[in-house]
Amino acid sequence: MIFSSRTLLFLSLTGSAYGAPQMKYAGNSGPIAGVTHSTPSVQAPVGSLRGDSALLGGNAKIPDVTKESADVKHPELVNGQDADADLGLYLNLNSVDKPEPYRGDRGASADGPRTFEYEKLNPDLFAPPGTDAGSVPNAMWPLGLSHNRMGTGEKSGWARQQNTDVLPSASAMAGVDMKLGPHAYRELHWHTAAEWALVLKGCVRIAAINDESQTFTDDLCAGDVWFFPAGVPHSIQAFENGVEFLLVFDQGDFDENGTFLVSEMFARTPKSVLAKNFDAPVEAFKDLPEKELYIFNGTPQPKDIQKQNVTGPAGAIPVAHAYTYHWSQQKPYEVPGGSVKILDPTTFPIAAKFSVALVTVKPGAMREMHWHTSSDEWDYFLQGSGRATIYRAPDAGRTFDFTAGDVGYIPKADAHYVENTGTGDLVFLEVLQAHKFSDISVAQWLALTPKQTIKDHLNLPDSLLDAIPKQKTILKQGNRNMTALGQ
């Protein structure tokens, strides 16, 4: 396509060859930081890049301070925003076009540089509960802000990750969200970290060999889990409808781009050595890949898994040490407020230090206040929206908001809850580096402590203390109207 000089000038001013509009988003408009938008476009450079000494304080004209205002007249508040800040009601900032950072009698209007969607997604950061205090490390990272690395094959897939580069507090675990297109592979590889995986959508065939020369092959679909110990080489191939899965690693600084790859191992080994190792002529290696395969399209695998179930003299990995668990077939434990499924080494022995809960929280309900004694907690939000306040010793607390695709991270011993803030179910994964999934329930702790001791500490009434169940409830029911207490 060839453009005339006049057309090129027009394109340089509009930024488009086809008149396509620029991205629009809700944010502040009008004059800001002394910049107005009334200056017409010019056809050639005009003016100077710098001012002169006449603008220095003491030389410059004193401005009329009554002409400028940072105040927003008649701000629109949402339900619960004028309630006592210490109630900490959930604020649905999506119910207004332009949210404002007020909590009760705290805060002030905002008219500076803003993108409203960020504030609507994170109302408890924008207008925090009055009970938030002190400094708590950031505990949330949306994978939607992670770089998405595309596969090397045509429409073969992608992968995006969270590690300490983007969430520094997540020192013990990292996560990867990966998609493989129809029949695509994640190329043969291994890691220095252990890999725990949950299939999110679609179906996949995995295969591996351990250091005892035993092999393992299995087919998995949405809701099923695999685990590969550190150093165990494995293959992952999607079936005809593709697959998406979540990977969790036991290293906070894990980097998906630092994986050991079969293609690179062969490329970095002299061909004379390859020939000697495989007792083959050098010519046998003339068609090796020129670069890493990463995620690439493959030959459709046979539906009959036995045709790919390769074993040697050592045989297959015993069932007791199977690398997969068909978690989708486990019925959840149901309680008022939702349901929970737990998978830990009690039933999945090979995953020696991965203890995981799949939690569904009904609208208005919450994962009860608790903490973990032996592990940090890595969370992945699969559906819905929620929030959590993290209490950090001795006197700090901060509330974070989460939506689908977000990672949460809570250090060991930090007390917290997870509350459903949406109108549908909240579904999230709670991952521990522990030999058994366990926690300390705040409610149960109080119920199993002498009542007078609790009264002496917290001045709570008998009616409250007598009603606390001695059995751990895991989830707590609540009013679906998140601002009911403030009305």
Please identify every residue annotated as catalytic. Answer: 430
Q: What values do phi and psi take at 280, rounded to 5?
A: -140, 160
Distances (CA, A) of 363 to 125, 420, 473: 21, 6, 17
Rounded Cα gap, residues 355 and 232, in angstroms? 20
Q: What is the residue type of 485?
A: L
SS3 content of the chain, % helix, strand, coil (to 5): 20, 30, 50
453 three-class SS: helix
Q: What is the residue type of 214?
A: Q
DSSP letter assigned to residue 144: G
Rounded Cα gap, residues 258 and 148, in angstroms? 15
- Give me Rg for the CA atoms of the chain: 28
434: closest CA among 379, 378, 374? 374
DSSP letter assigned to residue 35: B
416: closest CA among 472, 463, 376? 376
Half-sphere exposure of 375 (CA within 13 A, CB side): 20
Longest CA–CA separation in the chain, Å: 91
479: closest CA among 423, 407, 418, 400? 423
Distances (CA, A) of 413 to 8, 136, 370, 394, 435: 62, 14, 9, 12, 16
Tokens standing for 127?
A: 């207008």
Rounded Cα gap, residues 20 and 161, in angstroms? 32
Half-sphere exposure of 114 (CA within 13 A, CB side): 20
